[in-house]
Structure 1
Amino acid sequence: MTPVAMLQQCAPQIAPVTLAAIVQQESGGDPLAVHDNTGGKSYRPASVAEAARIARELIARGHSVDIGLAQINSRNLPRLGLGVDQVLDPCANLRAAQTVLMEGWMRSGDLRATLSAYNTGQLHSPVGMAYGEKVFGKAGVFVPAIPGGKLAQWASSDPANIGALPPVRPVITWTPQASPLAPQGGGLAVKW
């Protein structure tokens, strides 16, 4: 199954570009990725068994752990009805991401706030909003224009002239003591 087909099959309520950008931001597409939020360390296990072992050990120590493709947080597992082994299944992981995203969407109706809630549990936290901007960046979407906004004068001028000084017209004068030049008929003549 292609990644797009998996996104559409496992999380049909989330736009594929949105979920793909989240997966890219969260795990880089690694279904076995484990991140220890408490210790600040990422793991790239070679097998499902190793990923499950690492996640279980960290959770047993009371750590907050993100698991799998969409990095589902361990503290969400009980309410999602999932265990560590289940959330390491890519399709189950994407379904869980869909559930968390839909909860945020129902609370806010705003994609940036939804992404903030997905990352932090809070709709408008500064950390969550920064996360949302990173996800938008992964999707190739950057800060949009202000609707109806007007450009500042400097922004609407010719780009070739931004920061340029006005043309300079040099003034040439004659200094008899230091120059071999002498005024002659509206111009300068050389005298040695």
Structure 2
Amino acid sequence: MASAAATSSAASGPPVGARGQDPAARGVGADHFRALAGSLPTGVCVLTTLDAAGRPVGMTSGAVCGLSRVPPLLLACLDTTSRTLGALLQRATFGVNILAADAAWLSDRFAGDAPDRFAGVPWTPGPHGIPILTEGVVAHAICEVYRTVHAGDHLIVLGLITDGEHHPDADPLLYHRHHYSGFQPHSSAERSRTPRDTPHPATI
């Protein structure tokens, strides 16, 4: 079961800017939203955990980002109808596998309807038994559920990063306007010249 720190949090009162009308009625339509949101290139991740029987489960997500350095948090947004969400909340621990440029097939696998999405996928048990993909990733993180926030038809899961590993020479898979997009890789020389303390845009 999730700890008290992992319980759902929701702001009291109406949303900021509420005008006495359902937000869904004031907002843009679904197709307009998809066109706007799809204009932002995103990385592609596979979220993994274990179900109540200890079987690996997972799903593809393009809605994952770093959130805080102290404490080290990331956030992931999951559709409330996701079959992975219940297992993730019950286990209260999950993995975030950031896919590499040559791993579109993994994104498709974990976004599909296969009854066993892990069939034929190389993985190994990590801390707490959480599945870690061993091929086609640029990094992985192991997280504890820190807090959840309901937001429309999604649940925002804040994860406390407790472990992880990255592969600095691997390039990430990107998704843009309903297509996988290429990534212009840095040369080894360019990588070596990149300052290690270059601030993330979120900190500027």
TM-score bracket relative to the smaller structure: under 0.3
TM-score, normalised by the number of residues in structure 1: 0.22
Greater strand share, 1 or 2?
2
Higher radius of gyration, 1 or 2: 1
